[in-house]
Amino acid sequence: MKLKNFKPRPMRAVEYFGVNISIPADHEWVATDDTGQVAAWQNKPDEQHGLWEYADDTGVEIPFFVGEFDPIDEDDAIKTLRHYPIEGEMTEPSRKS
């Protein structure tokens, strides 16, 4: 079988706890769970017993796995969520003049 016309996913670099990592260009949130797995999401995930997940009425968002660190304590995992807004998108509601 031959696969044709591969299009790589657009990525962007962000600094996460002093380490440069690559995340999908359309993802804004990065967190590490207590096993050390680093993941990125389009939507803000919630911490559940040392693990991170995002779900809404349409289902569960599958995160993009970036890499891993050594395992960390569950209490430390809660503190790892970071937001990297997409350039050019509004991050605050507009104000009427």
84: exposed, middle or buried (C-beta count within 10 Å: 0-12, 13-18, 19+)?
middle
Q: What DSSP element (H or E) covers 77?
A: helix 74-77
Write the CB contacts of 68 (distance below 8 Å, at least 6 apart in sequence).
35, 36, 37, 38
- 89 pLDDT band, cuts 50/70/90, is low
Contact 79, 92 (CB under 8 A): no
26-79 pLDDT tens trace? 999 999 999 999 999 999 999 888 889 998 888 888 999 999 999 999 999 999
Q: What DSSP element (H or E) covers 74?
A: helix 74-77
72-85 pLDDT tens trace? 999 999 999 999 99
Does 92 have pLDDT greater than 70?
no
14-33 pLDDT tens trace? 999 999 999 999 999 999 99
pTM, 2 dp: 0.83
